[in-house]
Structure 1
Amino acid sequence: MTSPTPEEVHRSALVLDCHADTPQRFVDENWSFTDGVGTGQLSLDTARAGGLAGEIFALWVDPDQWPGRFAHRAFSLLDGLLEQIRLHPNDLQLCLTPDDILTAKAANRFAAVIAIEGGHAIENDLGLLRLFHRLGVRCMTLTWSNSNEWADSSGDIDDPAIPHHGGLTPFGREVIAEMNRLGIIIDVSHVSDATFWDVLRTTRAPIIASHSSSRVLTQAPRNLTDEMLRALATANGVAMVNFFPAFIDENWRQAWNAQREERVAAHAILEKQYEGTPVPFHASNKLDRDFAARIGRAPFDSLIDHFMHMIDVAGIDHVGIGTDFDGIPQPPDGIDTAADLPKFTAALMARGCSAEDMHKLLGGNLMRVFRDIQFAAS
């Protein structure tokens, strides 16, 4: 009996991506998920071409562009996503449970799971957290690159001008407890090291890192150390590999950081062009794409190296996919859109991953942790 080909393995798996920022396209560009992908990285057509069955869609609120209106912006993005589901009921399905994802897959509908990216969106209000849950949110990244009033971020932890808490505050621990009670997935991508360890000490359910890679291979502060990966695995969680070159290729990261002052100046000029109104992400991302193009594409093997290292450290049961599509200017070489996802299945199998391994990594691990979190809810 012949072994299945990588293409056959990929097509037979439940392929789930744990992080994409696509909802901002619905709101800011008046774009539809059923349209051509355009300048984005994820659409219905590219998902189907790449065998992608579902996505955790992030409601990301840029803290600099929406001061004082964090929840308002999050609700706007939520409405944009729910409108897509209403307008395209044969193509998209809101999924509140793992079983919903299986139902969507069986009906050839794309599974949409909703996440908040950045706990500042709940504006220090557990009532807002509960309301988001009632409206379909099933995951929350505790911070974005900004620390909030109850949790520290890796993005500004070295900035002396930013007040920090040394991890979670007492209210932050209340947020974790309420997320446990509601069955909301706790996502520690973006958090500081101290916050990560506080979360593990506080939660009574498994956690995920929806789009974080290995800090041993690429020294981005938001990547996970081997110690973190082992602890996450011990707690039965999952770490999802990010596809952004600055998190998977150290040379590319250093070149990107060397452009920082010039990029900041260019973004300041762009903000003036919008005369005090929020700069839409597609405009700022176009600028970043131009800067990324100067560096060139990161090697495809850098992405595969991160998967293999994290599998080696945490185990095959504790690694998944977190592309960060539509939130990054450029994926590595060979990955342009979701249509290219079978390429990394082939590459991982060439490195020794079995069909069973790939079924876990492609979606099985996320389904397990999602079930465990909802089972632990009260």
Structure 2
Amino acid sequence: MRQVADLHCDVLSKMLRDDKVTLGPPNDGKLDVTLGRLRQGGIGLQVFAMWVPDELAKTPETLLRAAELFWSKVLTCEGMRLVRKPADVESVLSGTDPGLTGALLSLEGVNALQGQWWALRLLHRLGLRLLGPTWNHANWACDGVGEPRGGGLTKAGRQLVAECEKLGILIDVSHLSDRGFWDLADAASRPFFASHSNSRRLCDNPRNLTDDQIRALIAVDGLVGLTFVPYFVTVPGPATIDDVLRQVEHVCGLGGERHIAFGSDFDGIEVHVQGLSHPGEYPALAEALIRRYPEAWVKGWLSGNVRRFLTTNLRE
């Protein structure tokens, strides 16, 4: 079975809402991402995002609760391995132990940090290695794609970039406004990436990336994590695996074959691409890809490009 790396799921948000939710039985009906489905899909690395739902307090304490859930309910599962440095990435994506799944902690939206650098440093100690400055709306650091004024990074947002680079936390541009994207590109001295965004040329949604943004990600040796959110894949109507392949083809056409990855957004969506409703169905995507593209390219898209990006850019 081919190794897979997935750059985004929202399991921790569901756990924040309901502390009885776990990756194992009997929660198959509550989660897209379960331990069994991770094994079924050959997931060697899964990124778990901390996103604070609107009904919960946007405070550092809520983020620490999410991080505690990551440690107590994810990392305690059989075969789960914490990923926070290059050697960890190699251990879970080398293919030598298919029974392992790496778990990597990310933050989606810095609202709850409230500009408190001690909280960022503490979360880093707890495993935080990836950070998206916003989730659609405006906050103290930047504007998201849903903010009508379309602002970029604030002064504090530029400091956030500097603090993350000092700690070795990689910046995720998914959800950033267009101006925020270019402000980040200007401020960053290290490669950045998109965890779960598609091509805006193929699907005209502000959450997707323009061709110029995709080229910018390629230029910094970043990643374009294509997502399975149906309304970011195609409009109108149901999305299929063939529609996902069209997204792949478009990024390849821009010179991005060494930069494609996948970020499903499982457990963050209510509807799914047909045939891609949970991580156990990744093999169907892999088979569709291998019928059209060279094996080496497909291995890169499924995990190789993520492996290279993280081993190059994470710190010991």
- TM-score, scaled relative to structure 1: 0.78
1:93 is matched with 81
CA contact (8 A) 2:197 2:226 kept: yes
1:222 is displaced (CA, Å) by 1.2
1:357 is displaced (CA, Å) by 0.4
CA contact (8 A) 1:214 1:226 kept: yes
1:216 is displaced (CA, Å) by 0.3
- Tell me if 1:238 matches 2:223: yes
CA contact (8 A) 2:75 2:103 kept: no
CA contact (8 A) 1:180 1:373 kept: no
User: Percent identity of the aligned residues?
Assistant: 31
Q: Residue 161 of structure 2 aligns to which amino acid in structure 1?
A: I
1:85 is displaced (CA, Å) by 4.2
1:350 is displaced (CA, Å) by 2.1
- Tell me if 1:334 matches 2:275: yes
2:122 is matched with 131
- Tell me if 1:79 matches 2:19: no
Distance 1:200 1:371 in 2: 21
2:291 is matched with 350
1:368 is matched with 308
Distance 1:198 1:33 in 2: 38
1:19 is displaced (CA, Å) by 0.2
Structure with higher Rg: it is: 1
Unaligned runs of 5+ in 1: 1-10, 253-296
Distance 1:92 1:203 in 2: 32
1:65 is matched with 55
1:15 is matched with 4
1:197 is displaced (CA, Å) by 0.6
CA contact (8 A) 2:84 2:104 kept: yes
- TM-score, scaled relative to structure 2: 0.93
Aligned positions of 1:56-205 closer than 5 A = 56-62=47-53, 64-67=54-57, 69-85=58-74, 87-88=76-77, 90-104=78-92, 106-107=96-97, 108-156=99-147, 158=148, 166-205=151-190
Cα deviation, 1:210-251, whole Å, max 9, x if unaligned, reads 000000011110100111101110011001011011101121
Distance 1:304 1:97 in 2: 31
Distance 2:301 2:29 in 1: 28
> Could you list the runs of 4 or more consecutive aligned residues of structure 1 that deviate by over 6 angstroms after TM superposition?
none
CA contact (8 A) 1:21 1:57 kept: yes
Partner of 1:251: helix, strand, or coil?
coil
CA contact (8 A) 2:131 2:170 kept: yes
Aligned positions of 1:26-45 closer than 5 A = 26-29=15-18, 30-35=20-25, 36-45=27-36
